[in-house]
Homo-oligomer: A and B are copies of this chain.
Amino acid sequence: MKKGEFELIDTIREMFPVPEGSLGIGDDCAVIPQKGGMDTLVSTDMLIEGSHFLLSDVSAEDLGWKSAAVNISDIAGMGGRPVATFLSFAIPRGTDDSFIDGFMKGYREISSKYGIPLLGGDTVASDNTMCINVAILGEAPAGKARLRSMADTGDTIYVSGPLGDSGAGLKVILEGIERGATENALVHRHYRPEPRVELGMKLSGIDGVHAMMDISDGVASDLEHILAASGVSAEIDVRKLPLSEDLKKACGLHGWDAVRLALEGGEDYELLITADPSLDLSPFGLTSIGRIKEKGAEPINWIGTTSMDYKGYHQF
């Protein structure tokens, strides 16, 4: 395929008209108005063996957890309340029953923790590849879901927690690095992300909170979506990026670039928020990392670094 992922999505978006009042492709979730004063939010994510996980590394329980987590995080990214999930599961013939049991155990663990029922799905037999799709339904009071298009010039840019841990965990996995406590913690952050549901709902109740999304591809890539949708640019001070002690330690040990992992690693599933500069969101545990500017020559002006080439994860 010659088209990139985002180019393909753009083509699809142009082909399918969106009904008046609804929001289609382009945010973490679609938004569909109901009759009773609420909006329905819908998102769906597919994980495929080889591209998104390696059966040789991931435990069944962790895979179950993560499959639900990445979808719950899409609802959190709009400030919504998760209502139900739907699991489609292509299972290679010959898969051990204990793997399925473990997967469902991990899936139930996160579902119980966040109080989200599994209300349907599909199980199919596959020749050789495991493929998992989760669709999630959420809701938010009408018009209150936070979109990528809501950033304003002058907004403060926040993130909700340390970045780069998940990307470092993935490096540990892919490079087969020996695992001590530090590496295990990073791998755990990769496999067991905690979607920021409660925080997202709190923030969407505050008027001055503007654009919001979850960080799945890395701030460098995800922020560009907010900037493009809002017609603005940004200035990011990379010295302000929140980094965990584990990440700093692992970067020291293995010679990794912590800033690059924080910006490009992706899959941290923290929230990326822009808010009116009169607000101080630090009491919510948010860290200010920059500011929204008028549209400029470059989408992002990086401060505190000589590198200017940060890019998020692109799969195609």
Contact = CB atoms under 8 A, between A and B. Distances in A.
Give the copy number: 2
A117 B22 contact: yes
Interface in A30-59: 30, 32, 34-38, 40, 42-52
Contacts of A36: 34-38
A45 B88 contact: yes
A123 to B, nearest CB: 6
Most chain B beta-carbon neighbours within 10 Å: one of A43, A91, A121: A121
B129 A32 contact: no
Contact of A120 (B42, B48, B83, B316): B42
Interface string A73-108: 000000000011011111101111100110010001
Given A12-B104, A42-B120, A51-B127, 6 more contacts: A2-B97, A12-B87, A25-B119, A46-B122, A48-B129, A88-B133
Interface stretch (A3-11, A250-258, A300-308): A3-11
A18 interface: yes
B121 A44 contact: yes
A38 B34 CA distance: 8
Contacts of A15: 104, 108, 118
Contact of A118 (B24, B49, B127): B24
Contact of A24 (B22, B120, B131): B120
A122 B44 contact: yes
26 contacts: A1-B96, A2-B97, A12-B118, A15-B104, A16-B111, A16-B117, A18-B117, A18-B119, A23-B119, A24-B118, A25-B119, A32-B84, A40-B40, A40-B137, A43-B86, A44-B88, A44-B133, A44-B135, A45-B88, A51-B126, A93-B316, A125-B316, A126-B129, A127-B129, A128-B128, A137-B137
Contacts of A37: 35-36
Contacts of A44: 86, 88, 120-122, 133, 135
A214 to B, nearest CB: 14
Nearest to A26: B120
A120 B90 CA distance: 21
B131 A46 contact: yes
Given A50-B126, A100-B1, A104-B15, A120 B35 contact: no
